[in-house]
Amino acid sequence: MMFSNAIVRKPCRSMIKGLTEANLGVPDYHKAIGQHESYVCALRECGLNVKELEADENFPDSTFVEDTALLTPHCAIITNPGAPSRRGEIIGMKRVIQEYYSDIEEILSPGTVEAGDIMMVGSHFYIGLSVRTNLKGAEQVIRILNKYGMSGSTIKLGKVLHLKTGLAYLENNNLLVCGEFLSNPEFKKFNIIEIPEEESYAANCIWINDKVLIPKGYPNTKQKIIDAGYSIAEVDVSEFRKLDGGLSCLSLRF
């Protein structure tokens, strides 16, 4: 499959109040703006039409748009973020998604879902059960996927924030795997590319039309992805890392 579009949202000044457990200090807003611009350039170089939404100061974590929707080839699903401070992000996002999709579904309370917990592998979607995504939410996602001829299954998370904090599917059966997911039998059928613990942040990469975007500063992971036959682009996202956000979190790709 190929992606044609991406949606991103510029970081806001209030990002310094974003949710985090990273303990890496407060992000530098100006640096984050520069890094976000480079990220958008990288998406464009992969051939995507990128829609850049204006910053929204009301929601410190609103640059992490990935969590607000699951965009599939057959329908869009607006999530219901488990983090109370992020719930309101979906209102603006729904309006934007209506420009692209006619079939739009919604996750309803008490179900909660953040799409950083959802990994697409062809027409199957792995859904992480996390602090942010609960079973009721995951069941709603699976029901909707089934309605459109797709499928889903759940994976219990232990330590990581989102499923894709520790996993990235690079198509061609190749899966980047780190930490708690290495021993998970669900992923045995993939060609596992193991990410060492000291580079765990780099397990969150994104495949876009045969190119892989990787975070800057993780030489071991970079070499493994090159060895697997991909061309890569490195993007520095240090300021987003301080908010527990990775490359995938910064865009919706469809």
Q: Which residues bind ligand CIR (CB under 6 A)?
A: 18-20, 61, 64, 66-67, 83, 86, 116, 161-162, 165, 243-246, 249
Judged by beta carbon, residue 131 or residue 226, the one nearer ligand CIR is 131
Catalytic residue among 36, 75, 162, 178: 162
Closest by alpha carbon to 116, among 86, 73, 145? Answer: 86
DSSP notation for 34-80: HHHHHHHHHHHHTT-EEEEEPP-TT-TTTT-GGGGEEE-SS-EEE-B
CB closest to ligand CIR, residue no:
116
- Supply the minimum distance, in Å, between the C-beta of residue 161 and ligand CIR: 6
Both tokens of 229, joined, read 């036959």
CB of 250 to ligand CIR, least distance (A): 8
Closest approach of Cβ 249 to ligand CIR, in Å? 3
Distance, CA of 63 to CA of 249 (rounded, Å): 8
Asked if 218 and 201 touch (Cβ cutoff 8 Å), the reply is yes
Give whichever of 56 and 67 is closer to ligand CIR, judged by the CB atom. Answer: 67
The one catalytic residue in 12, 178, 205, 249 is 249
Shortest spacing between CB 28 and ligand CIR, in angstroms: 15
DSSP 147-197: HTT-EEEEEE-SS-SSGGGSEEE-STTEEEEEGGGTT-GGGTTSEEEEEPG
Active site residue 249: yes
Residue closer to ligand CIR (CB basis): 206 or 223: 206
Query: Which residues are the active-site residues?
Result: 162, 249
